[in-house]
Amino acid sequence: MQTADIGRDEIVIEPGRTEKNYWADLWRYRELFLILAWRDIAVRYKQTIIGVAWAILRPFLTMVVFTAIFGRIAGLPTDGGAPYPLMVFAAMLPWSLFSTALGDASNSLIGNERLISKVYFPRLIIPIATVITAFVDFLISFVILLALMFFYRFPPGLNILLLPAFILQALLASLGPGLWITALNVKYRDFRYVIPFVVQFGLYVSPVGFSSAVIPGDWRLLYSLNPLVGVIDGFRWCILGAGSPLYWPGFVLSVAVVAFFLWLGVSRFRKMENTFADLI
Amino acid sequence: MGDVVIRAENLGKKYMIGHEAENGRYVALRDVLTHNARSIWHKTRDLLQRRPITPGANLEEVWALRDVNFEIRRGEVVGIIGRNGAGKSTLLKILSRITEPTEGRARIRGRVASLLEVGTGFHPELTGRENIFLNGAILGMRKVEISKKFDEIVAFAEVETFLDVPVKRFSSGMYMRLAFAVAAYLEPEILLVDEVLAVGDASFQKKCLGKMDRVARQEGRTVFFVSHNMAAVSSLCSKAIALQHGLVVFPLGDTTSAVQQYLSAAVDVAKTNLALRKDRYGEGKITIIDFGLYDRQGCRQDFVVSGQDVEFRLYYRCREKHRAQNIVAAISIHSLTSGFVTMLTNHAASEPFPSLGPEGFISCRVPRLPLGPGEYTVNVAIHQTDVQQDWVGEAATISVQEGDFFGTGRLPPAERRGIFLDQIWSTGSDRLVVDQREP
């Protein structure tokens, strides 16, 4: 007598066994992605006064500060004819997405310690849910970008339709290292101190406050090893149009780096997953 | 009965426990530095050799579970009993796929839901309503399913008026009820439950047991139930397994026999010579070396009788041959069937002993022992100036025989003994007057 639910084979629990059912399990628990993301967002603004307005204020103020520092004071040149704040903001969007997603994903397993030691579900859901949360923040900032473009009367070209591809690239760029680091973090807690430092460093190394056009030609390919270079250039190309041309070789390298880290992250995570409950 | 839904084959789980080095007296900075340097070197070496980093220099291998075998069929309600540390929770964790076995294999057929803790995933900032959806999703329910059962869950938990209040404002009772309510409406084929019924007040426990009973009997699900509560296990489970120190001491079989096995095992530990027991806690300046029962004449007894004038003696020895100062002793008495009974301590009933010799005994006399007939174990402890010197769990057993406590030649029915209290019964002829005031 088999009901439809036990149509699949029995589950075997054994040391060192990689779950054949893992990906099927991920699909079965798909609602958990959104529920955990919703939980993090809902909790963030409880008992605050201005609540959701913080989600808008933070990126807005960062943009203002950046424009003041890099644009006016440092006097870095801008791409094409685009106004400087727009150029900065177009890069800040993917940068914030990346750094928030990476930072939150890296700490996600430790932060959900109780869940991991008391309930079963595919652990991959936890870091991915944090990336979804970062994506929601991104959407809010994107609305500000549109407002900014309206303010500067700078209409987007057709390139903007390709933006989702670059958004995906930014998400995957953060997911790869995020998965790896969060898995390592469970075992060796040092890594939680590594991430803020890397993010800080990355902010100045990535073309956020400046355009990657200022990098001398010979170095440009090497520079593109930083996966964010491709992402940010892509964002600028979509939003600002032809004035900010895409350096294609660099972009392809960027995609390759993102894919590599994603593969690395997922495989390392899966390998360590069985020991999380014991180490956390 | 049905096909096998859970099969365990030689399951075993090993943990590596690291012991921090004894807090030695590091007088010199040099000692502190060399200790830290050595510890970093060990950790780096472990890192390079891909071993897990454990704190402390001393590693100990602990087998939480070993050679566990059983087969459970569909629809059976199986209890797992054993003392703390027997490996029950570890077994559940392995079957729930939360942790991996070190050896052996388990095969499971059917949708599993585990209840290892009530309120898993509850977030204090979210409201009751939000937490129902959160917790339900974490336990594996679909949103659609939760919405359908929402009203029943709220009714079971009795929290209708608090649905939109953040859970951090709930009383602990409401919290437990809500947490259990969500879990109670899971509908898995196999349910693994870990002592969640131990928390909460009596009415809550009764409600939970009732629900579990319905789940098992009427809905025909397979239930794997870990508990200390022998009464609950006996009433719910048709079969039981007893674990001790990670090993199966009573393989899957009749519950009554399993419970008896468990109880007699508890008695066996208590028979070990107290002075030789290693599993003790405390600073160690004073050690309890023996516990004995003595009658009014000071003669040692093997057993006592209800209502008897009894003396409990704790023989002790001080490590450094100093005098013992400011001594508080405690003896807690536990019934094998119903748990904690009472604690005898001079901290409450008398005064700390200001000064005692380096060796001797501490005596506690109970003029009319009110314990009902049965087997009891005792935990013993000695404190010096509020610092625990020695504590031994299940240090000894007290065997209480039937005695004429009330002097009437009669006792309450056999299953209703517990503790005997002095009681004075009388009657009166006044009629009951009910208060008719306006509300």
pLDDT digits (tens, 9 = 90+) for B26-39: 455 666 677 777 77
Chain A residues in contact with B44 by the CB 8 A cut-off are: none
The first and second tokens of residue B276, run together, are 């030789």
Q: What is the pLDDT of residue B58?
A: 63
Q: What is the pLDDT of residue B45?
A: 78
Residue A76 has pLDDT above 90, yes or no: no
Residue B319 has pLDDT above 80, yes or no: yes
Which amino acid is located at B141 in the chain? M
Q: Is A275 on the interface with B (CB under 8 A)?
A: yes
Centre a 10 Å sphere on the Cβ of residue A277 and count the other Cβ atoms it contains: 21
Residue A4 has pLDDT above 60, yes or no: no
Which residue segment(s) compose the domain that A204 sits in? Answer: 29-279
Cα–Cα distance, B111 to B99 (Å, whole number): 18
Asked if A118 lies within 8 A of B166 by C-beta distance, the reply is: no
Query: Counting one residue from A and one from B, how many pairs have CB atoms under 8 Å apart?
Result: 103
Q: In B280-312, which positions are buried (b, 16+ CB within 10 angstroms) versus exposed (e)?
A: bebeeebbbbbbbbbeeeeeeeeebbbbbebbb
More confident residue, B169 or B84: B169
pLDDT in tens, A144-199: 888 878 877 777 777 788 889 889 999 999 999 999 999 888 888 878 888 888 88
Question: Out of 3.30.1330.60, 3.40.50.300, 3.40.190.290, 3.50.50.60, which CATH number does the structure's domain B72-268 have?
Answer: 3.40.50.300
Nearest CB to A187 within list B53, B97, B101: B53
Chain A residues in contact with B108 by the CB 8 A cut-off are: 10-11, 13
Chain B residues in contact with A16 by the CB 8 A cut-off are: 100
Q: What is the pLDDT of residue B312?
A: 94
Cα–Cα distance, B86 to B227 (Å, whole number): 12
Q: What is the pLDDT of residue B261?
A: 79
Interface test with B, best of A2, A27, A46, A118 (most B CBs within 10 A): A118
Q: What is the pLDDT of residue B267?
A: 64
Chain B residues in contact with A6 by the CB 8 A cut-off are: 109-111, 189
| CA-based nearest residue to B186, from B212, B168, B225, B217 | B212
Decide if A118 is inside a domain: yes
Q: What is the pLDDT of residue B352?
A: 92
Asked if B130 lies within 8 A of A12 by C-beta distance, the reply is: no
| CA-based nearest residue to B361, from B412, B304, B289, B274 | B289
Domain ranges of chain B: 4-62, 72-268, 274-408
Cα–Cα distance, B380 to B376 (Å, whole number): 13
Decide if A60 is inside a domain: yes
CB B376 within 8 A of CB B397: yes
A3-42 residues touching B, CB cutoff 8 A: 5-6, 10-16, 29, 31-32, 35, 39, 42
Q: What is the pLDDT of residue A1?
A: 33
**Distance, in angstroms, between B44 CA and closest chain A CA?**
11
Nearest CB to A32 within list B97, B102, B137: B137
Decide if A72 is inside a domain: yes
Question: Out of 3.30.420.40, 1.10.12.10, 2.40.10.340, 2.70.50.60, which CATH number does the structure's domain B274-408 have?
Answer: 2.70.50.60
Question: Using 50, 70 and 90 to split pLDDT, how confident is the model at B247?
Answer: confident
CB A232 within 8 A of CB A206: yes
pLDDT in tens, A194-221: 888 888 888 888 887 777 777 787 787 7
Residue B196 has pLDDT above 80, yes or no: no
Cα–Cα distance, B93 to B100 (Å, whole number): 8
Q: What is the pLDDT of residue B15?
A: 86
More confident residue, B369 or A237: B369
Decide if A271 is inside a domain: yes
How far is residue B41 CA from its own chain's centroid?
40
Which amino acid is located at B87 in the chain? G
Q: Is A120 on the interface with B (CB under 8 A)?
A: yes
Residue positions counted in chain B? 439
Interface test with A, best of B100, B143, B182 (most A CBs within 10 A): B100
Q: Kindly state the average pLDDT of the residues A103-120.
A: 89
If you average pLDDT over every residue of chain B, what do you get?
A: 84
Chain A residues in contact with B126 by the CB 8 A cut-off are: 39, 42-43, 46
| φ, ψ of residue B83 in degrees (nearest 5) | -70, 175
**Distance, in angstroms, between B105 CA and closest chain A CA?**
5
How far is residue B24 CA from its own chain's centroid?
33
Residue B125 has pLDDT above 80, yes or no: yes
pLDDT in tens, A79-103: 556 677 777 788 888 988 999 999 9
B30 Cβ neighbours under 8 A, 6+ residues apart: none
What's the pTM? 0.71
Q: What is the pLDDT of residue A19?
A: 67
Q: What is the pLDDT of residue B364?
A: 94
DSSP β-ladder status, B58-73 and B359-366? unpaired
Q: Kindly state the average pLDDT of the residues B74-90.
A: 86
Cα–Cα distance, A29 to B317 (Å, whole number): 60
Question: Using 50, 70 and 90 to split pLDDT, how confident is the model at B19?
Answer: low
Number of domains present in the structure of chain A? 1
More confident residue, B430 or A1: B430
CB B240 within 8 A of CB B81: yes
Q: What is the pLDDT of residue B233?
A: 83
Decide if A104 is inside a domain: yes
B433 Cβ neighbours under 8 A, 6+ residues apart: none
Q: Kindly state the average pLDDT of the residues B14-28.
A: 62
| φ, ψ of residue B162 in degrees (nearest 5) | -115, 15
A179-198 residues touching B, CB cutoff 8 A: 187-188
More confident residue, B55 or A264: A264
Q: Is the dihedral of CA B361, B362, B367, B368 positive or negative?
A: negative
Q: Write down the H helix ranges in B330-399.
A: 346-349
**Distance, in angstroms, between B90 CA and closest chain A CA?**
11
Centre a 10 Å sphere on the Cβ of residue A279 and count the other Cβ atoms it contains: 14
3-state secondary structure of B166: strand
Q: Is A72 on the interface with B (CB under 8 A)?
A: no
CB B67 within 8 A of CB B248: yes
Q: What is the pLDDT of residue B333?
A: 94
Centre a 10 Å sphere on the Cβ of residue A192 and count the other Cβ atoms it contains: 16
More confident residue, A71 or B365: B365
DSSP state at residue A212:
G
Residue B25 has pLDDT above 60, yes or no: no
Decide if A163 is inside a domain: yes
Q: What is the pLDDT of residue B18?
A: 67
| CA-based nearest residue to B205, from B176, B225, B183, B162 | B176
Q: Which region, left, alpha or beta, applies to residue B274 given φ > 0 means left and ψ of -120 to 50 means alpha?
A: alpha
Question: Using 50, 70 and 90 to split pLDDT, how confident is the model at A7?
Answer: very low
Asked if B120 lies within 8 A of A42 by C-beta distance, the reply is: no
More confident residue, B407 or B328: B328
Decide if A21 is inside a domain: no
Give whole-number Cα distances, B343 to A252, B274, B335, B367, B379, in Å. 74, 19, 12, 15, 9
Asked if B109 lies within 8 A of A11 by C-beta distance, the reply is: yes
Asked if B98 lies within 8 A of A11 by C-beta distance, the reply is: no
A131-160 residues touching B, CB cutoff 8 A: none
Residue positions counted in chain A? 280
Centre a 10 Å sphere on the Cβ of residue B357 and count the other Cβ atoms it contains: 11
Q: In this prediction, what percent of chain B has a pLDDT beyond 90? A: 27
If you average pLDDT over every residue of chain A, what do you get?
A: 82
